[in-house]
Amino acid sequence: MLAKRIVAALDIKNGRVVKGVNFENIRDAGDPVELAKRYEDEGVDEIVFLDISATNENREILIGLAKKIAGEINIPFTVGGGLSSTDLMTEMIRQGADKVFVNTAAVEDPQIIKKASKKIGASNLVIAIDAKRKEDDWKIYTHGGNKKRGLNAVEWAKKVERLGAGEILLTSMDRDGTKDGFDIPLLKKVSSAVDIPVIASGGAGSAEDFYEVFNETEVSAALAASIFHYKECSISDLKSDLDKRGINVRN
């Protein structure tokens, strides 16, 4: 069995790392370069860098900042936000990102997934899915969680896999920033419906939450932001705890 990955998220706005709750009430969390280097030192497996306002402000991602961060760390690094063309995705890979992720552009033109997969390789292409519960269903949102779409999250996950996505970054908008634990029902449904890796995002509040998501779903990785940014949970202690409880994690 492949080792489970621990991922740190860096949400960027105006050159700073920020964090909110349910995609709202954004507050400053620090310098992105300093945080990226700290997380690498603490043993995180990967870092996800998202320019959270790029799509809504109709501009391209902060390529300079992404390049700077990529030049400072040696662990896998994924970049997203405002990547609306395969040329931009290719440029991000050229500038040092290991992978890129796309949400809005993929929903608005699903064929971009197929084109990007062929151009940069499926293993370098992550599709981000932001989902919110509606009764017994989950609907996806784009534009930084501001625009509701009529797509079912599970069906969309299956489609992006068919089109060539190599991985899914699945965020529960209901749990985002709440520290109430990952959305197990959502993650269980999606991770069991596809064969590509799924990164769990939204709700991490403790080591117990990571144990639960790895133990009860088929996700390949779990992501956190707040508890790492504000030093509420040490990455090294988290990995040690998971290892002691029988979860195979990377050393």
* HEC profile of 127-166: EEEEEEEECCEEEEEECCCCEEEEEEHHHHHHHHHHHCCC
Catalytic residue positions, numbered: 11, 130
Whether 52 maps to a domain, the answer reads yes
How does DSSP classify residue 123? G
For 5: left if phi > 0, alpha if psi spans -120 to 50, otherwise beta; the answer is beta
Whether 190 maps to a domain, the answer reads yes
| Structure-block tokens of residue 26 | 């954004």
- Tell me how many domains the chain contains: 1
Burial (CB count <10 Å: 0-12, 13-18, 19+), residue 21: middle
Whether 102 maps to a domain, the answer reads yes
Whether 251 maps to a domain, the answer reads no
Rounded Cα gap, residues 192 and 173, in angstroms? 20
Whether 236 maps to a domain, the answer reads yes
pLDDT in tens, 190-217: 999 999 999 999 999 999 999 999 999 9
Q: What is the pTM of this model?
A: 0.91
Whether 199 maps to a domain, the answer reads yes
pLDDT in tens, 131-180: 999 888 999 999 888 899 989 999 999 999 999 999 999 999 999 889 99
227 lies in which domain range? 5-244
Rounded Cα gap, residues 244 and 30, in angstroms? 32
In this structure, the chain runs to a length of 251
- The amino acid present at 196, given as its one-letter code, is I
Rounded Cα gap, residues 214 and 160, in angstroms? 23
pLDDT confidence of 56, banded at 50, 70, 90?
very low
| Domain of residue 75, CATH code | 3.20.20.70
